[in-house]
Amino acid sequence: MCGIVGYAGPGTGRRTEQDVDLGPGPSQRPLEVVIEGLRRLEYRGYDSAGVALVGPDTEDVAFAKKAGKLVNLRTELADRSLPAATAAVGHTRWATHGGPTDGNAHPHLADAGRLAVIHNGIIENYSELRRTLAAEGATFRSETDTEVAAHLLAREYRAAGDLTAAMVATAGHLRGTFTLLAVHADAPDTVVGARHDSPLVVGLGEGENFLGSDVAAFVAQTKEAMELGQDQVVTITPTSVSVVDFEGRPAEGKRFTVDWDAAAAEKGGFESFMDKEIHDQPQAVADTLRGRTDADGRIVLDDLRIDEAVLRSVDKIIVIACGTAAYAGHVAKYAIEHWCRIPVEVELAHEFRYRDPIVDAQTLVVAISQSGETMDTLMAVRHAREQGAKVLAVVNTNGSTIPRESDAVLYTHAGPEIAVASTKAFLAQITAAYVLGLYLAQLRGNKFPDEIATTLDELRDMARKVQTVIERGEYVRATARSMKDADKVLFLGRHVGYPVAMEGALKLKELAYIHAEGFAAGELKHGPIALIDDGQPVFVVVPSPRGRDQLHSKVVSNIQEIRARGARTLVIAEDGDDDVRPYADEIFWIPKAPTLLQPLLAVVPLQIFAMALATAKGLDVDQPRNLAKSVTVE
Ligand code: F6R
């Protein structure tokens, strides 16, 4: 959702790597930095964009904003002569209050055009504030909730004469969720920000400082960063960063170094970020495993700040997450229950919080999130902690809110995931869940050290096998191209194949806008089989024939049942599985692997299929319609 960038620094000088042509005015480092930051935040999803600039010679804020993609804003800027600036803010908007129009795009101005505000989140009490401010004489020009923050800040600034103090006072009036950034013509080298339940990170440069929704906004400029806590106001100038809380008392941010390179967030020669990220998956699995064992081969999780005695006493695990991350949670359930004999529930974060869940000090809540900012998951984390549970975050993004608010964190090391639809984060989340499961088994003595070592070795070998599946991708792509007119696709799986089926369906829905459903194969006869008619494409994830409990033969029977009713069967099966051949219209072979680890392989053809089919339909696979990468509102 909305992307936010702020910059305070010299008006001219070093250009960004993009060498952005921004029109006839003087060289504009602030504008270049902000536009480059917005470009890097495009992945969050947006429908309009805007910038605001102030400089020593500006009477009013200079600004531009346009509905649509960033290119529209850049075209608008190219026709304009802008004053030299020393501070700038930029925004990509994902519409909530008011449609995606030029007028509703941010920034919103107040104080006779001398103050500009951008915002991420939802201001819940905006109607009453709007009435009050209008009665006081404010003129509203948009349908947004954000504009009340601009007028409120202008009013508080008139009273306080200081932008930071005015922001503190403004934050006190707002309910809901917000990150706000503001510039004022009176303070041409300053950007002030506030955050409440919405992300904001500081980038620390030399003679310049940055603000961003996440580190991607400024990673091309600096890797030195600072996390802000909840309910803090930050003021940056070229040479200073100061933080206060919502009472105006001095506060501290936590410094960290971004551990990935700006190039990691580039396409690197691939046609799309999604394609690149699918190809990153072997690395994501390997990196998530790296450094997790000591010299004796025992699993060590350094970031896990929960006392071992507490982990030993855990009698229930609840995984909370949304979307793809929740499907990773389903895989975690099968693995952790099998290895550790602890009951594991998996719950969508937005349902968990509102159903009065039974959670206590013996419950370990595992919150899985790529972004670390998903509001539904964050709220569930808070709820769990209020009930006395320990919360362990499995998160990909450094400096994000969920790990900060959890008791412990297990970082996945997938690197930046830019495509809106999640791929490599899913594999990294599953890998981290396996590590956690094995760690708990080690700690609680559920498994012998040599059993754990064997599973770890098998897990380490998965990166190579994922690579093999990717290399076999052309057959999947060709099949997808031949199916570009499909209007309904079903996915079946059993055991860990069930979450894989659901993830395959989700990928197809979000990328190709095709109605797709994932079912537990055993559920078929209880209803969904009625959907099967002549030619209906059905993907089936087949477990390893070497697996347990006749899982394999049950799924082969399911394939026969649907084929007998006319389904076109697209089967994902292990190399050498001859039992499926007679019943499969297409087979996507994957290398042999232990049943519990198979999701790391089986999901890859489904990702490639969805991407290739969407591409064949001429759709943008990196930014599917209506979706946002980081869902920062409930
Ligand atoms: C699907 C997808 C979403 C996310 C979900 C949670 O491809 O990307 O379903 O998985 O919004 O996001 P995070 O993991 O950032 O909490």
User: Do 410 and 480 belong to one domain?
Assistant: no
CA of 579 to the centre of ligand 1 (A): 35
**Region of residue 388 (phi > 0: left; psi between -120 and 50: alpha; otherwise: beta):** left
- Separation CA 473–CA 469 (nearest Å): 7
Q: For ligand 1, atom 3, name the residue with the nearest CA.
A: 323
**DSSP H or E segment with residue 211:** strand 209-212
| Strands annotated E in 328-375 | 344-348, 363-369
Residue at a domain's end among 422, 437, 460: 460
Q: Which atom of ligand 1 is nearest to the CA of 325?
A: 10
pLDDT of residue 632: 76
CA of 190 to the centre of ligand 1 (A): 34
Q: Which atom of ligand 1 is nearest to the CA of 324?
A: 10
- Separation CA 325–CA 430 (nearest Å): 9
pLDDT of residue 96: 80
Q: Which atom of ligand 1 is nearest to the CA of 631?
A: 11
Nearest to 191 by CA among 118, 84, 112, 82: 118
499 in helix, strand or coil? helix
Token pair of 579, please? 């039992």
User: Do 73 and 154 belong to one domain?
Assistant: yes
CA of 4 to the centre of ligand 1 (A): 20
The catalytic residue among 2, 340, 424, 465 is 2
pLDDT tens digits, 64-90: 999 999 999 999 998 888 888 999 999
- Separation CA 248–CA 243 (nearest Å): 9
User: Do 435 and 471 belong to one domain?
Assistant: no
- Of 402, 621, 627, 631, the one to substitute when testing ligand 1's pocket (max ligand atoms within 8 A of C-beta) is 631
CA of 319 to the centre of ligand 1 (A): 14
Residue at a domain's end among 460, 490, 505: 460
**Which residues of the chain, if any, have pLDDT below 50?**
13-21, 24-26
Q: For ligand 1, atom 5, name the residue with the nearest CA.
A: 323
Q: Which atom of ligand 1 is nearest to the CA of 425?
A: 14
Tell how far CA 283 is from the center of its chain.
19
Residue at a domain's end among 460, 491, 508: 460
CA of 400 to the centre of ligand 1 (A): 15
Q: Which atom of ligand 1 is nearest to the CA of 402?
A: 16
Whose tokens are 């934050």? That residue is 171
pLDDT of residue 301: 85
User: Do 633 and 571 belong to one domain?
Assistant: yes
Domain count, the chain: 3
- Of 319, 348, 371, the one to substitute when testing ligand 1's pocket (max ligand atoms within 8 A of C-beta) is 371
pLDDT of residue 12: 61
Q: What share of the chain is helix, strand, coil (3-state, %, to 5)?
A: 40, 20, 40
CA of 110 to the centre of ligand 1 (A): 36
User: Do 439 and 292 belong to one domain?
Assistant: yes
User: Do 96 and 244 belong to one domain?
Assistant: yes
Q: What are the residues whose beta carbons fall under 8 Å from the beta carbon of 360, sequence distance 6 or more?
A: 387, 388, 389
**Segments forming the whole domain that contains residue 94:** 3-263
> Which residues, judged by CB distance below 6 Å to any ligand atom, belong to the binding site of ligand 1?
322-325, 369-371, 374, 377, 421-422, 506, 510, 630-631
Q: For ligand 1, atom 7, name the residue with the nearest CA.
A: 421
Nearest to 22 by CA among 81, 67, 92, 96: 81
Q: What are the residues whose beta carbons fall under 8 Å from the beta carbon of 620, sequence distance 6 or more?
A: none
pLDDT tens digits, 333-381: 999 999 999 999 999 999 998 888 899 999 999 999 999 999 999 999 9
Nearest to 465 by CA among 276, 593, 608, 278: 593
pLDDT of residue 549: 65
- Separation CA 195–CA 322 (nearest Å): 23
CA of 377 to the centre of ligand 1 (A): 10
Q: What is the CATH number of the domain that holds 618?
A: 3.40.50.10490
User: Do 248 and 297 belong to one domain?
Assistant: no
Token pair of 51, please? 């910038």
User: Do 195 and 329 belong to one domain?
Assistant: no
Q: For ligand 1, atom 16, name the residue with the nearest CA.
A: 369
Q: What angle do CA 27, 188, 169 make, to 5 degrees?
A: 140
Q: What are phi and psi of 205, to 5 degrees?
A: -110, -170
CA of 278 to the centre of ligand 1 (A): 16
pLDDT of residue 581: 94
Q: What are the residues whose beta carbons fall under 8 Å from the beta carbon of 534, sequence distance 6 or more?
A: 566
Q: What are the residues whose beta carbons fall under 8 Å from the beta carbon of 575, sequence distance 6 or more?
A: 589, 590, 591, 592
CA of 629 to the centre of ligand 1 (A): 7
The answer to whether 371 and 343 are in contact (CB under 8 A) is no
User: Do 524 and 451 belong to one domain?
Assistant: no
User: Do 229 and 285 belong to one domain?
Assistant: no
Tell how far CA 522 is from the center of its chain.
32
Q: What is the CATH number of the domain that holds 10?
A: 3.60.20.10
- Separation CA 46–CA 3 (nearest Å): 8
- Separation CA 9–CA 387 (nearest Å): 45
CA of 210 to the centre of ligand 1 (A): 27
**Whether residue 629 lies in the annotated active site:** yes
**Whether residue 322 lies in the annotated active site:** no
pLDDT of residue 15: 40
User: Do 450 and 472 belong to one domain?
Assistant: no
- Of 319, 322, 630, the one to substitute when testing ligand 1's pocket (max ligand atoms within 8 A of C-beta) is 322
- Separation CA 351–CA 592 (nearest Å): 36
CA of 403 to the centre of ligand 1 (A): 16
Q: Which atom of ligand 1 is nearest to the CA of 507?
A: 7
Distances from the Cα of 193 to the Cαs of 100, 124, 185, 212, in angstroms? 24, 19, 16, 10
User: Do 113 and 252 belong to one domain?
Assistant: yes
The catalytic residue among 65, 390, 507, 629 is 629
pLDDT of residue 548: 62
The answer to whether 5 and 209 are in contact (CB under 8 A) is no
